A and B are shown apart, each in its own frame.
Chain A
Amino acid sequence: MSTEIREKGAWPASEQQPLAVEMREITKTWPGVVADDRVHFDVRKGEIHALIGENGAGKSTLMNILYGLLHADSGTISINGQPAQIRGPRDAIALGIGMVHQHFMLIPVLTVGENIVLGREPVTNGDFYDRSGASQRIHDISSRYGLSIDPNTRTGDLPVGLQQRVEILKVLYRGADILILDEPTGVLTPQETQDLFVVLRELVKQGKTIIFISHKLREVLEISDRVTVLRRGKVIGTVPTKETSEEQLARMMVGRDVLLRVDKQPAKPGQVALRVEHLNVKNERDLPAVRDLSLELRSGEILGIAGVEGNGQSELVEALAGTRPVASGHIWVGDKEITNSGARKTRKAGMGHIPEDRRGTGLVLNYSIADNMIFGRQRDTAFSWRGFVLLLSSIFSWAKRLIAQYDVRTPSAETPARALSGGNQQKVIVARELGSQPRVLLASQPTRGVDIGAIEFIHRQLVAQRDTGAAILLVSAELEEIRSLSDRIAVLYEGQIVSMESPEVSEERLGLLMTGGGTRTAQG
């Protein structure tokens, strides 16, 4: 609905507005790393101030310091003109600062109401939790800001967009005037993002100040009044949003010109590399997740799967990768049927898999990068003697080659994967999966949470792999990524492919199809 463009100059956050937040000379070091280096950061009352930078640039550290979760080594903070000592979240809350964390700070087994009031629970007769009192107060706040929600739902049952709403309500319930949102759109669908922006504009209208951490430049340009860019712990600059551009911000973030579009030739599809027939897969709760799905993927093409999360993408990819049982149907890689043959045989047949959950299933975080780079291939004669004894020197030289080729920023091949930034962790996985030159590559959210420089790199690698004849199935929540990389787009809705589209399809049409509409319209 009201995604109206702001009129220039029509905002309260003029230069005369007093400062809500002043952070001066903030320095924070970790062993061996300077996370923030004498950072100055000002936020005016009533503005939406975007804080952008690549992973590891120091955005989250800076905001955790403002919220009291971390302590700066040096520097001062003033809130609303008053010097402030923020020793913990309690102090921050008392100063009217609230934070919506990137990884939601919600307890899935508690109700929405309990999550919202936690830490400031209304009580009766001493210490008894006053459930109806909590519901009443939540109702007051949610109607005031137009954020309706049922306080008695179990939080874990809510979709991500609503969980975020709970987070925002939590912050408002505590009376926050300054809201920090750490990568709030990272997990949202385009529609949920638009809903969030409506909420943010409403909040600003009611006098709130918002700090919006992101690395999605288009969103920053859409929602913010000013932008501060951090790079490697230093402030590169603060610019008014209306005087900047995507290209300029990308350059400030990365320190060089960044190619924002994917440069690729038309696909030259060859043989069918992956064939799926009447596939049915169930989810954890034993409900159908993929329903009678058939598709063909040829070598030398990228097939994008567009869909709102939770419509069977994860289950589809896992079934194809051999890590989830197939209820019925068939999967072939080339002419070899791999249905229900397990991950090892599936890999052997030429399937590569970049899993969506980088930290959970993509890597063993405590293992070295070298070890992580051969997972799945540890029985190969190149890396082990008869599948029993690992050949460490060949593993290391292989790892070193991949580290150089894929530009993984790491002190050494022995460094545990845990120590790398998200983008570099993802590069390790991409290097491993592409390094084995799979016939079919399942790329699930290959750039989620990865910063702009690394996204550019991973995209180029995927296209290069396609051009050497790999068949790539790309699943992504980013429509922009799907549209720019794919040669064909399949729209998944409730476990079925509801439409096949060309990459020129409009974002609106995709959005409509993804939410179950528009299938009867003739294809354009």
Chain B
Amino acid sequence: MNAVLQILGLFFTAGLWQLALELGALLLLPALGGTISERSGVVNIAMEGMMLTGAFTAVVTDLVWHNALLATLAAAISGGLMALIHAVVSIRFRADQIISGFAINIFAFGLTTFLIDKMTNFQGAAHVPQAYTLPVITVPVLSNIPFLGQVLFQQNIMVYVALALLVGMNIMLFRTRLGLRIRAVGEHPQAADTAGINVYTLRYGAVIASGLLSGLGGAFLSIGINNVFLPNMTDGAGYIALAAMIFGKWKPFGAFVACMIFGIGEAIYANNSTIHISQYLLNTLPYILTIVVLAAFVGKSAAPAADGLPYEPGVE
């Protein structure tokens, strides 16, 4: 009972919400990536691996060039390259997309662990000096608003980037010609093809975009929230993002809500030293929260109709 009250008490602290938004934004980037990929009809469970690749690339680039912006770009590109593998395997060769994604996750884990070992022998040299990490932006004036100022206007730059991408993605998917076409390709590629739309180009683009976004998420993790690369440091974040995308019904704002629920759960967990309850039990909180919210509000999920199905033209 005491623990429950302690947890409820946390909801009245700006610190909890500030952290929840930060962690939610971290999940949001790969979740947006998954959304665009699956909207185009390519199942993507490889956000985990792409994110890990991005995290690694960001740290290495930052160590060499001492430039967080450059490191972030490199991270996005490395995620995009991983996604390109997934795209070629699942679009060009029409392989099973789950297996391809899984392979990428294992490959990314092995590759980054191997490389960081080669470079540092795990001696801690993968630490990036604070000066070269992604900065926290404190918006003048607005950050002085009580409570909300701390939550919304004292955040890492990537939080703002993620929120801007959220809005952009939503507009792109549901208001533009490009978005209409991506959704068409994901629902019924034959129909799109007969309407003169290039199914392959759009699917390649969408999958690569998912890699870019996941790579950004990786950079945020390794040189924003942390300042180090550790083997397997994503620790399932890519999979949670995948879950958030599905719970969000393949919609950007739906995914955002799901990410925030996870974020809140993790932020509560981050306070585990002050809560008198098993930290392992506390660790299950985000998942329990998600299931409860899902069962209560979401209902039947609606995947794109051609999600996961390779497209082969002209087959009768």
Contact = CB atoms under 8 A, between A and B. Distances in A.
A binds B: yes
B178 interface: yes
Interface string A82-104: 00000011100100000101000
B181 interface: yes
A120 B177 CA distance: 9
B195 A105 contact: yes
A66 B261 CA distance: 53
A448 B285 CA distance: 54
Interface size class of A (residues with CB under 8 A): 20 to 34
A70 interface: yes
Contacts of B305: 107-109
A420 interface: no
B197 A118 contact: yes
A170 B195 contact: yes
Interface in B179-200: 179-181, 183-184, 187-188, 190-197
A70 B180 contact: no
Contacts, number: 78
A93 B180 contact: no
Interface stretch (A122-130, A287-295, A330-338, A453-461): A122-130
B175 interface: yes
A42 interface: no
Contact of B196 (A64, A110, A119, A129): A119
Contact of B184 (A67, A118, A128): A118
A105 B191 contact: yes
Nearest to B179: A129
A114 interface: yes
A107 B188 contact: yes
Nearest to B186: A107
Contacts of B179: 129
Interface residues of B, number: 24
Contacts of B235: none
Given A107-B187, A110-B184, 8 more contacts: A64-B314, A93-B196, A115-B191, A118-B192, A118-B195, A120-B196, A127-B178, A129-B175
Identify which of B177, B188, B193 gathers the most chain A CB atoms within 10 Å of its CB: B177
A69 interface: yes
Interface of A: 60-61, 64, 67, 69-70, 88-90, 93, 99, 101, 105-110, 114-115, 118-121, 123, 127-129, 170, 174
A105 B197 contact: no
Contacts of B183: 107, 109-110
Given A64-B314, A101-B194, A105-B195, A129 B180 contact: yes
Given A64-B314, A69-B314, A119 B197 contact: yes
Contact of B191 (A61, A70, A106, A174): A106
Contacts of B177: 121, 123, 127-129
Nearest to B188: A107
Nearest to A104: B191
B140 interface: no
A99 B316 CA distance: 15
A123 B180 CA distance: 11
Contacts of A89: 193-196
A119 B195 contact: yes
B168 to A, nearest CB: 12
Interface string B193-211: 1111100000000000000
B196 A114 contact: no
B130 interface: no
B60 to A, nearest CB: 36
B176 interface: yes
Contacts of A114: 180, 184
A120 B184 CA distance: 13
Nearest to A131: B175
A105 B175 contact: no
Nearest to A119: B195
A69 to B, nearest CB: 4
Interface in B283-297: none
A126 to B, nearest CB: 8
Contact of B194 (A67, A108, A121): A67
5 contacts: A64-B314, A114-B184, A128-B175, A129-B177, A129-B180
B299 interface: no
A127 B176 CA distance: 5
Nearest to B183: A110
Interface in B138-195: 175-181, 183-184, 187-188, 190-195
A359 to B, nearest CB: 12
Given A89-B196, A109-B305, A110-B184, A118 B178 contact: no
A172 B163 CA distance: 42
Nearest to A99: B194
B181 A118 contact: yes
A69 B313 contact: yes
Contacts of A60: 316
Given A118-B195, A123-B177, A129-B175, A105 B314 contact: no
A118 B190 contact: no
